[in-house]
Structure 1
């Protein structure tokens, strides 16, 4: 799997949008299955070519992904992604609270699930006709700006959730609450309203997510080093969290996975 990171061209969307991802899976002539680990935030996915399904490990159902969908945070390893043939997607990674602002949905209802969304007339065709990933950012920027009606994601709790993600889940929850100017109890309640997750679990997902993505991009990196980067001083604690959020042990995670090639390369 090859993914390309694309920046938004709109400063106006900075508080709501992390950035874009162009994704490609080549036709391998057989079914390709990828583990989908827990993730902290919502994203919008637009399928440009091909299709894919999600195998629900809980219900044993095979769910076809919509042409355009809003995907919520995942609290644990719940789905495998199944692809037959070529797949091309363009996705928007959303900041905390952005899903509610853009699509008027309660983030709690999106946890561990997804919903189809409607694209503006002509947007899908425009994206398909655009020859490069960077060129797709501008039309999607304009669509997302049309959904905000000039509002921004300026909630202090959402801001602290973004900071937690950027710091790989290592900021103490009390520090986040203090920075937001709220009591710990009020902060925890508001955090769940905005993200669908409690702040402690959100931090765990950020920490394990960092280790997972680093391993996918650098398969030879030792798990002990990645655990340390993610803020784990206790290797057994890391292994317990990893198993809970990815469904497997660290040593087994890449087994059977198609490798991820990311552009630009990991830079931190």
Structure 2
């Protein structure tokens, strides 16, 4: 995604590392490990553009694996993006900012790479997260190794890790929509074998069990211990 900080910038830290300021305009790559902390202060005014899993690769041809767990100054990757930030900052409303972003992205899309089987595979994993990699490779008429290499180049994460993160995101979003359900019910509804499986995956990927993660992330207070 792209983030445009139009007032105070976020403070970003990893585990025990010192907190540093985010770039003024950041390209944020896929996240593959826990430990990221975001610190807010002052006036926060951020405009964010989210992309489909292969969107940045198709639009700009950037080396997406090098962006994993990173926030990079957008202008270093795409100098023409300075005009985009200026146009977004000049917008007097959210709608005007959207128009500015859409115009710039439409111009960028004129040189975009055509769609590929990796786009379809990423969307399938985003929806389900549990499709066997061998099945996706067969649909793409590739060997498993070829498929993994091409997918990682386009998305940044391996298909297996991407599927795991997509499934966890679905589980957490499902719980946010259905707070009355217990975690065992959420786990079974979103493709986990049981609640313990969901807890292990959330701890591995997000660094904390799901109940604590929801409380910290969405600031909803303690989640009922069901």
Give the TM-score taking structure 1 as reference length: 0.72
Structure 2 matches for 1:101-120, cutoff 5 A? Answer: 101-118=58-75, 120=81
Change (3 A) 1:121 1:54: closer
Residue 236 of structure 1 and its aligned partner are, at CA, apart by 1.8
What's the secondary structure of 1:162's corresponding residue?
helix
Q: Cα gap change, 1:230/1:153 in structure 2, threshold over 3 Å: closer, same or farther?
A: farther
**In the superposition, relative to structure 1, how do residues 230 and 76 fare at CA in structure 2: closer, same or farther (>3 Å)?**
farther
**Greater C-alpha radius of gyration:** 2
Gaps of 5+ in 1: 1-42, 261-268
- Structure 1 residue 242: deviation in Å? 0.8
Q: Verify: 1:76 aligned to 2:33, yes or no.
A: yes
Distance 1:199 1:128, change over 3 A: same
Corresponding residue pairs, total: 216
Offset of residue 196 of structure 1: 1.9
1:191 to 147, 151, 161: 151
Distance 1:242 1:99, change over 3 A: same
Matching residue within 97, 105, 123 for 1:136 = 97
Matched, 1:250 2:210: yes
Flag the 1:214–1:104 CA change in 2: closer, same or farther, 3 A: same
Q: Is the 8 A contact 2:13 2:19 kept in 1?
A: yes
Structure 1: distance between partners of 2:191 and 2:59: 33
State the distance in 2 between where 1:109 and 1:177 align.
Answer: 24
- Distance in structure 2 (CA, Å) of the matches to 1:250 and 1:98: 29
1:1-268 to structure 2, matched below 5 A, reads 43-57=1-15, 60-118=17-75, 120-165=81-126, 167-216=127-176, 219-259=179-219
Q: SS of the counterpart of 2:150?
A: helix
Equivalent residues of 1:97, 1:153 under 8 A apart: no
In structure 2, the residue corresponding to 1:70 is in which secondary structure?
strand
How far did residue 113 of structure 1 move?
A: 1.0
Which of the two has greater strand per residue?
Answer: 1
Q: Please give the secondary structure, in 1, of the residue aligned with 2:45.
A: strand
Task: State the secondary structure of the residue aligned to 1:213.
Answer: helix
Q: RMSD value over aligned CA atoms?
A: 2.3
Q: Which consecutive residues of structure 2, in runs of 5 or more, have no partner in the other structure?
A: 221-226
- 1:68 deviates by 0.9
